Structure 1
Amino acid sequence: MAYFRRTGASTFDPTSAVGGAWNTAEQHVAPTFGLLTHLVETDRVARGRDDLAVTRLSFDVWGPYPLAPMETAVQVLRPGRGVELVEAEASCGGRRVATLRAWLAGVGDTAALAAGVPAAMPGPDETPSWDPTTDWPGGFVASIEVRRALEEPGRGRVWARTDVPLLDGEEVGTLARTAGLLDVANGMTVRSDPRRVAFPNLDLAAHLFRAPRGDWLGLDTTVTFGPDGAGLTSAVLHDTEGAFGRLAQSLVVRDLS
C-alpha cells in the first residue's frame, strides 16, 4: 500500500496509511507535504530545469481535511534564470487545504567554501527503537519506523523512515520522500501528552543547504510552548551523512483538560 494513488494528471486518492494523528478520520498532513514536493520536482524536470535545486520548502496548512480525493495545481510564481519561486497547492472537497512555496536556486560547485555545518548526531543504529503509537493513533504514525533518544519532554533526537511508497507505481525522489516525513518533528518529542494538550502546527518551513540522502530522516528537535497560546517546534535536519538543513513549525497550543 502507498500513501496516495494517482487518479489523473493532477488528482490523487489517499489510502488508509494517510490516517491522521489528531483525528484518524482526517489526513495526516505529512504525506501531503511529500506529494506537493514531488509535484514541484516533477514540474521542474518537465520544464528542463535540472540546473536548479530546492533550497527552501515552506508549507502552510489551511485546516483539517478528510480522507477524500484531492486536486492539485503547480505554478511558477517567479521565473528566473538562476532563481525560481514555485507554488504547489492541494485542495480537498473544493477547499484549499495545503500550499507549498519552494525556492529553487542554481546548482554550483561550492565544496571549497563549505563550512558551518552543525555537528552530526548519533545515527539510527546508535539510537533506541521507539513505538510512536504509544503517543499517537492513525495510519500514518503506524506506518513509520522511529528511533528516539529523549532528553526531557520537548527535547530529543529522533530518526524516522518508512517503507510505504509515497505514490503507488510512481518513482519519487529522495527530497519528496524526506519532505513526507518532516512533519513528524512536532510529534516525536512531545512536551505534553497530546491527549491533554493540543499543539497542531499551522505551517512548516525547511531551509536546506544541501540535498538529503538515504532513507533516514534525523531530527534534533526542541519544542517550546509560550505563555499566550503559541508554540514553536524547531529542529536541525540530518541524514546518516550529517546535517543538511533546519526546520521550524508554528504551533497553536490549547489545554484540553
Structure 2
Amino acid sequence: MEPVDVRVEVLRPGRTIELVEARLTAGGRTIVIARAWLAQRTDTAAIADSAFPRLPEPSSMPVEDLAVVWPGAFVASLGARRRQAEPGRAVAWLSTDVPLLEGEPVSATAAALGLVDTTNGTTPRLPPDRVAFPNLDLTVHLFREPIGGPVGYDVSVSFGPDGAGLTQAVLHDAEGPFGTSAQTLTLRQR
C-alpha cells in the first residue's frame, strides 16, 4: 500500500440538492472518481414500497466459496451464499468481517457500497479463464438507506456482440430491496 490523497469538492451546491465529487489519487494519478447527488430527506414513510421481489433468506441458500473462481485477499474475506439460475443470472448474499476502514466507524450505506462492486463477479456468463469482463464504472441508485449486515443481490449479466456488457443488480438487506446497481463491462476473449 502506498499513500493516497483524497480530495472532496462540492460541484453543485444547493439547499435541497447538491453534487459532491471525491477523487482518490496515488502517485499523482487519479485512480477513482466518485460522485454523489445528495438530496434533502423528507418523510415519505406512509407511501414507502417497492415492486422489486424480496430475495430468499440467506440461510436458505448454499454457501459459496468465491475464492475458487476469483483470487485475492478481498474475495477470500467474503462470506457468500448464492443460488445460480443460469450463467449470468443469480441471487446471492455477501458479507465480510473486514472493516471498510480499520479502526474507523462507517455508515451502513458505506459498508454496503464497499461490497457492491462484487456484483460483476457473482454470476459470470462465462468462466474468467475464457473471457475477461472488467467493469468500467459502477452506478448505484438508493431509494432508502441500507440497515447494515449482509448485502443481497438479484443479479443479471449480459454480453453484447461488440465487446460491451452490462451487470445489473437489485440490492437488498434484511428488510428487503434498497436500491439498484449497474456496471458497464468491457469484454476481452482470452
| TM-score, normalised with respect to structure 1 | 0.72
Contact 2:111 2:148 in 1 (8 A): no
Q: Are 1:151 and 2:85 matched, yes or no?
A: yes
- Indicate the residue corresponding to 1:111 in structure 2: 45
How much has 1:214 moved relative to structure 2? 2.0
2:108 to 171, 174, 178: 174
1:160 to 75, 85, 94: 94
Identity among equivalent pairs (%) = 54
- Indicate the residue corresponding to 2:186 in structure 1: 252
Give the distance between the partners of 1:143 and 1:74, measured in 2 at CA: 29
List gaps (5 residues or longer) in structure 1. 1-66
After TM superposition, the structure 1 stretch with the greater mean CA deviation from structure 2, 111-120 or 84-93, is: 111-120
How much is the aligned-residue C-alpha RMSD, in angstroms?
A: 1.0
Structure 1 residue matching 2:134: 3-state secondary structure:
coil
Give the distance between the partners of 2:140 and 2:11, measured in 1 at CA: 19
**Counterpart amino acid of 1:154?**
G
Q: Which of the pair has the greater relative contact order for Cα pairs under 8 Å at 6+ separation?
A: 1
Aligned length: 190
Q: Are 1:235 and 2:169 matched, yes or no?
A: yes
Give the distance between the partners of 1:119 and 1:151, measured in 2 at CA: 16
Alignment of 1:128-207 (within 5 A): 128-207=62-141
Give the distance between the partners of 1:181 and 1:152, measured in 2 at CA: 22
**Counterpart amino acid of 1:167?**
L
- Indicate the residue corresponding to 2:30 in structure 1: 96
Contact 2:117 2:138 in 1 (8 A): yes
Contact 2:170 2:181 in 1 (8 A): yes
Give the distance between the partners of 1:143 and 1:94, measured in 2 at CA: 30
Structure 1 residue matching 2:177: 3-state secondary structure:
strand
Q: Provide, for residues 84-141 of structure 1, a one-character-per-residue CA deviation record: whole Å limited to 9, x for no partner.
A: 1110111111100111110111111111222333111102111110000111001110
Give the distance between the partners of 1:117 and 1:106, measured in 2 at CA: 24
- Indicate the residue corresponding to 1:43 in structure 2: none
| TM-score, normalised with respect to structure 2 | 0.97
- Indicate the residue corresponding to 1:29 in structure 2: none
Q: Provide, for residues 137-175 of structure 1, a one-character-per-residue CA deviation record: whole Å limited to 9, x for no partner.
A: 011101111110000100000100101011121111111
**Counterpart amino acid of 1:241?**
E
- Indicate the residue corresponding to 1:209 in structure 2: 143
Query: Which structure has greater helix proportion?
Result: 1
List gaps (5 residues or longer) in structure 2. none
After TM superposition, the structure 1 stretch with the greater mean CA deviation from structure 2, 121-130 or 224-233, is: 121-130
Give the distance between the partners of 1:90 and 1:193, measured in 2 at CA: 31
- Indicate the residue corresponding to 2:160 in structure 1: 226
Contact 1:117 1:243 in 2 (8 A): no
Structure 2 residue matching 1:244: 3-state secondary structure:
strand
